[in-house]
Structure 1
């Protein structure tokens, strides 16, 4: 879980920028996109082998 605290006198835009950067660094969006649809284990294996 990404936790970002607002600094005193910090503009909203810079807070959002820091939040997006932290979420991207943690890989949260990639994980959500990967889990958006169910993928059978056999399909996952095929995909992994095709990438290698």
Structure 2
């Protein structure tokens, strides 16, 4: 859980900015979007397979560039 305490003489805008940064680093928004709708097991397998495919493509592309 992301939590921000207001410092002395700190504006609400800067505290809100720090809170948003913490929330994005913690991955809370991505998790909320992922759990927004029910995902059936076949859909989950397909999504994970696509992610593996993208990861393999990305890592092979980076390996070619560093050679």
TM-score (norm 1): 0.92
Q: Which residue of 2 aligns with 1:29?
A: 29
Structure 2: distance between partners of 1:50 and 1:17:
33
Structure 1: distance between partners of 2:47 and 2:3:
33
Structure 2: distance between partners of 1:50 and 1:19:
32
Q: Which residue of 2 aligns with 1:47?
A: 47
TM-score (norm 2): 0.73
Count residues with an aligned counterpart.
52
* Runs (5+) with no aligned partner, structure 2: 54-67
Larger helix percent: 2
Any runs of at least 4 consecutive aligned residues in structure 1 with deviations exceeding 6 A, and if so which? none
Q: Which residue of 2 aligns with 1:14?
A: 14
The two structures, once aligned, show a CA RMSD in angstroms of 0.8
Structure 2: distance between partners of 1:21 and 1:50:
28
Relative contact order (C-alpha < 8 Å, sep 6+): which is higher? 1
